[in-house]
Amino acid sequence: MTAGRLSGRKILLGVSGGIAAYKAAELTRLLRGEGAEVRVVMTAAAREFVSPLTFQALSGNPVRSELFDPAHEAAMGHIELARWADLVLIAPASANVVARLAHGLADDLLTTLCLAAACPLAVAPAMNQGMWRHAATQENVARLAGRGTLVWGPAEGAQACGDTGPGRLLEPADLLERIAGALCRGPLAGVRVLVTAGPTREPIDPVRYVGNRSSGKMGYALAQALRALGADVVLVSGPTALPTPAGVARVDVETALEMQGAVASRVADCDLFVGCAAVADYRPAAPAPGKIKKTAERLALELVRNPDIVASVAARAAPPFTVGFAAETERLVEQADAKRRAKGLHLVAANLVGAADTGFEHDDNALTVLWDGGSAVLERAPKPVLARRLAAVIAERFHARTAAQDPR
Ligand code: C5P
């Protein structure tokens, strides 16, 4: 995480009643950690779940709930409070608050502030899945979105009431990324990025596969670093044990052909493509429909070539800025540059493999980045650090190419 991304930004955090209200406390902490000023407004129902003292301590500011509260109004009137904010976020936003906002009610401090505020308004709904799916809630949410309110989530999964489905509050780290995305215009703001990561698994039969040792760490770290620069990132991932980076949309695939399909259906809508996946070069020609029995003494596996995903992206008529990786055991620059040319890449990130402690499965890596007419050496570092350095080089080269294509 980049320290102080929200330095000096003013966030008005509305907390409404729901079991997820405790997550707003963590969000307050994260916002302060990024340098934001936070003022919290709670609905009466929210106070049943979390004490205002918690938010007061975490935000460093008094917590407000009442519209007609002479003590607080004297310090900062509600209209002043609405004008103070750079962004109003209601998290969690209950079905009731969503309904009241959709109808423009101003029957407590929070809804009144939302009407008075001229800054962006975001809601992060959290409620029982049945309440979320109800036509009334869906109409209210659509009405808010149609008015320009940012609707973040909800996520799907297990609910406190025992149900499973849509209605979970997004995680605080995810909400933080959304706030940063809404308020900070990083160098890749508005740029649509597609990243492949992880290994692929090529089935031999229903229980066995041909795979490789890629952990996905570099691709995930890069997806996160590009997101932190403001990009909208979709991560097409082979099987990994890694959590999805906050604010990144993830599409899970298993085989190279599935990865190619997931990329092909999205590539026309991306400005920047990063092929970080360790795609299997070959797949079994004819996977057995049933489990292969241990009868034969020798068994030959016929393999056929997989398509080269990054090369097919670069070969499009109007390709996105295309970045590939090259892992080489010797003559790193020479071989990586040959790969860049052969695949038609705009940029290649090359690393030396075979050394004991970098590359596949390791936490550290070092890269040499090559493009037409230039290069950069990124010294050995933990993968998240290296990913941030690489993301900065990618952003710079992306803009250099865009400027060259469109010299205004
Ligand atoms: O040819 P090689 O496998 O060394 O190239 C590595 C680069 O090509 C990586 O960027 C990788 O993601 C990409 N690649 C691909 N599809 C393949 C093989 C590699 O996109 N089938």
For residue 406, the model assigns a pLDDT of 59
Residue 2 has pLDDT above 50, yes or no: no
pTM over 0.95? The answer is no
The chain-wide mean pLDDT, for the chain, equals 93
Helix or strand run (H / E) with residue 195: strand 192-197
Q: Candidates 283, 325, 340, 367: which one to mutate for ligand 1, based on the most atoms within 8 Å of Cβ?
A: 325
For residue 359, the model assigns a pLDDT of 59
For residue 216, the model assigns a pLDDT of 95
Cα–Cα dist 233/340, whole Å: 23
Lowest mean pLDDT among 70-79, 229-238, 291-300: 70-79
Find where tokens 């973040």 sit.
152
Cα–Cα dist 352/329, whole Å: 5
Ligand 1 center–CA 384 separation, angstroms: 21
CB burial of residue 344 (10 Å; 0-12, 13-18, 19+): middle
Ligand 1, atom nearest to 310 Cα = 20
DSSP per position, 254-272: -SHHHHHHHHHTTGGG-SE
Tokens of 7: 């330095």
Instruction: Point out the residues that are catalytic.
Output: 161
Ligand 1, atom nearest to 307 Cα = 21
Query: Using a 6 Å cutoff on CB, does residue 277 contact ligand 1?
Result: yes
Q: pLDDT-derived band of residue 118, with 50, 70 and 90 as boundaries?
A: confident
For the stretch 29-45, pLDDT in tens is: 999 999 999 999 999 99
Ligand 1, atom nearest to 328 Cα = 4
Ligand 1 center–CA 275 separation, angstroms: 7
Query: Using a 6 Å cutoff on CB, does residue 279 contact ligand 1?
Result: yes
Asked whether 366 and 358 are in contact (CB, 8 A), the reply is yes
For the stretch 209-223, pLDDT in tens is: 999 999 999 999 999
Average pLDDT over residues 115-120: 91
Residue 3 has pLDDT above 80, yes or no: no
Q: What 3-state class would DSSP assign to 370?
A: strand
The DSSP bridge partners found for residue 321 are 272
- Distances in Å between the alpha carbon of 183 and those of 8, 54, 88, 178, 239? 11, 26, 11, 9, 33
Q: What 3-state class would DSSP assign to 353?
A: coil
Average pLDDT over residues 281-302: 96
Q: Whose CA is nearest to atom 9 of ligand 1?
A: 325
Average pLDDT over residues 271-277: 98
Ligand 1 center–CA 198 separation, angstroms: 12
For residue 408, the model assigns a pLDDT of 46
What dihedral angle (degrees, nearest 10) is formed by the CA atoms of 394, 396, 402, 407?
-160
- Distances in Å between the alpha carbon of 213 and those of 140, 210, 239, 279? 48, 11, 11, 11
Asked whether 196 and 255 are in contact (CB, 8 A), the reply is no
Average pLDDT over residues 283-300: 96
Domains in the chain, CATH or no CATH each: 10-183 (3.40.50.1950), 192-405 (3.40.50.10300)
For the stretch 207-259, pLDDT in tens is: 999 999 999 999 999 999 999 888 999 999 999 999 998 888 999 999 999 99
Cβ-count burial 184-205 (b if 16+ within 10 Å, e if not): bebebeebbbbbbbbbbbbebe
For residue 159, the model assigns a pLDDT of 87
Average pLDDT over residues 312-341: 96
Q: Whose CA is nearest to atom 5 of ligand 1?
A: 326
Counting runs of H as helices and runs of E as strands, what totals does the chain give?
A: 14, 19
